[in-house]
Amino acid sequence: MKPHCDVRILLVTGWICNIPGAWTSSNITMSTVLGDIFDGYDKKLSPKYDHAASDRQVVVTVNIFINSMFSVSEANMDYSMSMFLRERWVDERLRYVDDQNFTRLELDYSLFDQVWMPDMFILNEKFSNFHEVTIPNKMVHVYPDGTVQYSARVTGTFFCKMNLRKYPFDTQSCHFEVESYGHSTSTMKFVWSEDAVTIADSIEFPQFELIETQSYSCEKDYFGIVFPCIGVNIILKRNYAYYIIQIYIPSVLIVILSWVNFWLDPTSVPARISLGLLTVLTMTTQSAGARANLPRVSLLTSTWRRV
């Protein structure tokens, strides 16, 4: 006979009670499946550790969804964005028989540390962090064939080497690269999914227009060991309307104002000196303001060429 439906008894004994949200047979079966696939599972070993040397490579498919890009800094040569970093690979040790039509097992975050995961890191990262409000923003799904789907929300700032020779009429290519820290290409391979990068429709920049993204492979050779690496170029074209209105048009007007000197009486020395000095100081101030947001690079930009 089942005990009375007391919450304390339910937690201790696991009896099924006729109350909403009670423990069901499907839950018990899912718990059994989880117990079976993790029985003897060792996350310290890669999925193909026991395969032949020619068949130990784990293929990790990567995809990123850019949720927001909220800063592009020429002075620091970096950009900041928030994204969902997704990885998918096959771990045959996690296969299970789908008798209950689960489609997939959605693991609780307390089980994430029990699953082997690729040792991926972001190569051009300055600093970044995972989100943990209200719980860690991570997801792990396991499919019947052993496919593991991992997703994490990451926000960070990443280095971007910029060519400012044509600033502010420039187009910048900012890269994002991920690499394995400890696994060589003999045991791991990174590949982009069919849609390598997807971008939220709500992303807008006050100074840039996102043109396209270009995915590529960038395997690295360190001391004779080749490590898997993939990357994506984010092409940004600067909107120069602000600079036309705030810099170029005022500069043209100041130059035109300096021509008044040709109509002044040659004997009016104070007026001619004052007008010439005023235009020079104004142009110097404008040039300094235009360079305030730029790094100290030893090259001429278009804001200098206008003078």
Per-residue pLDDT tens digits for 133-172: 888 999 999 999 999 999 999 999 999 998 888 888 999 9
Residue-level pLDDT at 296 = 64
Q: For residue 152, which of 91, 63, 225 has the smallest C-alpha distance?
A: 63
Residue-level pLDDT at 26 = 52
What DSSP character marks residue 110?
G
Chain Cα centroid distance, residue 123? 11
pLDDT at position 21 over 80 = no
What DSSP character marks residue 143?
-
Contact 64, 82 (CB under 8 A): no
Instruction: Tell me the C-alpha to C-alpha distance, in Å, between residue 166 and each of 21, 169, 208, 238, 302.
Output: 63, 5, 14, 10, 5
Q: What is the pLDDT of residues 204-241, one digit of tens each?
A: 777 888 889 999 999 999 989 999 999 999 999 998 88
- CB-based contacts of 79: which residues, under 8 Å, 6+ apart? 69, 71, 72, 73, 157, 158, 160, 174, 234
Helices (H), the chain: 7-13, 25-38, 241-243, 249-258, 269-291, 302-305
Query: Encoding tokens for residue 163?
Result: 């060519």
Average pLDDT over residues 100-111: 86
Interior angle at CA 47, CA 218 and CA 177, nearest 5? 20
Type of residue at 108: D
Average pLDDT over residues 186-194: 94
Rg (CA), the chain: 30
Q: For residue 119, which of 233, 232, 229 has the smallest C-alpha distance?
A: 229
What domains does the chain contain, in order, with CATH numbers?
7-38 (no CATH), 53-239 (2.70.170.10), 242-305 (1.20.58.390)
Q: pTM, whole model, 2 decimals?
A: 0.77
For the chain, give the percent of residues with pLDDT over 70: 85
Q: What is the pLDDT of residues 256-275, one digit of tens each?
A: 888 888 887 777 778 778 88
pLDDT at position 305 over 90 = no
Instruction: pLDDT band for 80, please (50, 70, 90 cuts).
Output: very high
Query: Encoding tokens for residue 202?
Result: 């709500």
Instruction: pLDDT band for 50, please (50, 70, 90 cuts).
Output: confident
Cα(110)–Cα(108) distance, rounded to whole angstroms? 5
Considering only 119-128, 271-280, 291-300, which range has the smallest mean pLDDT?
291-300
